[in-house]
Chains A and B, each alone.
Chain A
Amino acid sequence: MKKISKLLLALTFAFSLSSSAFAVTVASWGGAYTESQKLGYGDPTAKALGIDINWVDYSGGLSEIKAQKEAGAITWDIIDLYGHNVINGCDEGIFVEFDFDKDFPPAPDGTPASEDFFTDMPSECAVGNILYSWNYAYNSDLLKSSPKTIKDFFNTQRFPGKRGIYGTAYTNLEIALAADGVKMGKGGKFVYKKLEEEGYVDRAIAKIKKLCDDPKGGCVFWSAGAKPPELLMSGEVVMSTGWNGRFFNAAVGEGAPIVQVWDGQGLDYEYFALVKGGPDEANAKKALAMMTSTEMLAGSAKYIAYAPWRKSSIAVMEAGEPWYKDGKTNMVPHMPTAPANLKKYFLVDAEYWADNGEEIGEKWEVMKASVK
């Protein structure tokens, strides 16, 4: 008996050693999104390369990787990040810089990777992953009439009840200004122009604060992407901003009474970055190249309504409709890039948030602390 347990101990030890030597750790946003990444391209890549890919959850930002670096114990290889975080992290030398055509495989028809991407990457350290939307949704069981515009999100007279709001200023200022009557312009250009001017950041924050202090309104701040659908389903809020893929999975995947509003949506890119000096940098680079190839990116769209970063992946999806995992839902119309959803939108300006995020963050925290 004793011998067997000793043997087992030795085995588990050896196993843990071997598995840790060939495991790549990816930090992402958890919930339905990580699920789509894992099923869509994580597992197939792991199988093809013969390595383990571990997925860990986090709630965004550079603070955790910086803390890991500071402590001298980096545990993440790849991070799923906002554009402005990649720009800042690249400036600070946290991430590996890419040579896109060399490091990433071309499209099936031979188009080099850099030409297959939707637009240019915001930084040499970023490789595109999905296009997603910051829109809002409501619980149709709780509201008598249905909100249609971004202004309705702030209209507590017609639609009384609490609102779910993202916990940092990111994308909140844009919708606040749009709802406050600032013209958005094509792709939200005017909004960012105004935000650079004196007083407009304060005006946007005041608009949110008014909503939070309103006795007929009120705010619940969320930080994990799984929270908005949960808040809506539990009836804690009547409307919430959130990520369109999460709303889609709750509404179509789980049949929840959640309806999305696309007016004033913020179209945003999501990226992967490779950590410099991560536990298994070489394998992580191989895995990353494979995960962001045409077929693999299209694979993740089978599980969530986010648009892949490669033009060639969209073609794969269109050819394969109905693409959703249930085998009967067409995926392309649910994409944030579908023309019907793009009537009034802003393209989130990563550069603006990279430069101004921190100082706005401080004002935002003051606002949050003084909410009644």
Chain B
Amino acid sequence: MSSENNKILTTDGIPLEESLKVAEKKNKIKAFLLVAPLLLFLLITYIIPIGGMFSRSIDDKLTTNMLPKTYKAMEKWDGKELPSEEIFEAFYLDYKILVKNKTVGKLQTQLNLEKNGFKSALKKLARKQKKFKVGNYKEQIMSSHKRFENVEYWRAIKRRAPPITYSKYLKAMDMYLDEDNKIVQVEEDRRMHRILWLRTLEIAFFVTLFCFVMAYPIAHLLATIPMKYSNLLLICVLLPFWTSLLVRTASWMILLQQQGLLNDFFVWIGLFTNENRPQMMYNKTGTYVAMTQILLPFMVLPLYSVMKTISPSLMRAGKSLGATPTVAFFKVYFPLTIPGIGAGCLLVFILAIGYYITPELVGGASGKLISNQIAYHMKSSLDWSFASAMGLMLLTGVLAIYWLYNKLVGVDNIKLG
């Protein structure tokens, strides 16, 4: 018997296997078409912007294109001593065109980001170069500003030669590449980003902790009292959740300020004297208080929905088997709520780590987070590539936490409801 005869045929003579394939293919296309809008949505709103951010954070074509002659002349320069006349001339020729076209501002800004103090030298050169004579450009440029006599500034130009760079990522960690291509740390008194990263982690951690400590009893109460009361309480939890973020932050400002309601109350009950009112705003305390209150519902709701499903008879069974209420709670009830705790903590932590508006308004100088620094570079210094690099680092951090959580607890255990 040949193998062909073994195949089962459908009524119209096509082998069953093939006809099944055709049918499945149709189903697959249908299924794909059904998810296509969502896929497209994710692609447009998530993948493409993140890709754009990434390419912006490493793109360094701007300076490369602005100083073509200089970079060509610099190819052979080893960066040890001051460059030769040839390089100075090339730089002068490039720079002249930029001044004429009024595009010089961008180069000044970029080079100043690379080496602090470059801008004023370049601006002076822009004014003085109009009177330059032909020949001996090295001397003329160096006499326009003494910073051009410093080889550091020429190295800074050379560092910007490659069209792709990862220096922004180093800068976000307070490090940079020196002329020997070694990664070195910036001076101690200029390390600001590490302070901000650590502060962000610290505040996100403690806000999560405070939220957990406060939300657990609330959620337990909500899950155990009769429906008619629990609905009312749930509305109390949700009402602030539905109120605008700005309104809530502003009301905290009214409560916490020096002559605010809370301080007035403390003075009235005699906790503090009128002269020694505690600072509760424009510092870390303000950030902690306002962020904890704002993020509390994100902890209460997952906890509540998990606790709601735990049968009260389990605790009773524990107790009837001889456990004290404390033991029964820790051995029976608490382990069952872990999926809710995981969901709530992850949610609050991730939201807290990228928080912006509340620290901006109530944080003062000591309550600022990394997101405020990102906003500063987006809005004020206009170093968008640096802002993109820090944004991506934040995203990577969140993904790392998610991965860690998955390893330790398991994502399958998360329950949002």
Contact = CB atoms under 8 A, between A and B. Distances in A.
Interface of A: 61, 63-64, 66-67, 88, 91-93, 162, 212, 218-221, 234-236, 354-356, 358-359, 361-363, 365-366, 368-372
A199 B124 CA distance: 21
Interface of B: 102-106, 109, 112, 116-120, 123-124, 126, 189-190, 192, 195-196, 257-260, 279, 281-282, 364-366, 368, 373, 376, 379-382
6 contacts: A66-B382, A218-B279, A219-B365, A235-B259, A359-B112, A365-B192
A365 B171 CA distance: 14
Q: Which 9 A-B pairs have the closest CB atoms?
A: A92-B105, A93-B102, A235-B259, A371-B365, A369-B192, A355-B120, A366-B192, A235-B258, A359-B116
A339 to B, nearest CB: 35
B120 A63 contact: no
B196 A234 contact: no
Contacts of B104: 91-92
Contacts of B368: 368-369
Contact of A354 (B116, B123, B192, B381): B123
Nearest to B194: A369
Contacts of B258: 162, 234-236
B281 to A, nearest CB: 7
A61 B120 contact: no
B364 A221 contact: yes
The binding surface of chain A is classed by DSSP as helix
Contact of B381 (A361, A366, A370): A361
Contacts of A221: 364-365
Nearest to A90: B102
Given A162-B258, A366-B192, A368-B365, 17 more contacts: A61-B380, A67-B379, A92-B105, A93-B102, A162-B279, A162-B282, A218-B282, A219-B365, A220-B282, A220-B364, A221-B364, A235-B258, A236-B282, A354-B123, A358-B112, A359-B120, A369-B192
B257 A359 contact: no
B196 A236 contact: no
B376 A365 contact: yes
B257 A236 contact: yes
A234 B195 CA distance: 31
A355 B380 contact: no
Contacts of B190: 363, 366
A175 B102 CA distance: 34
A371 B366 contact: yes
A64 B382 CA distance: 9
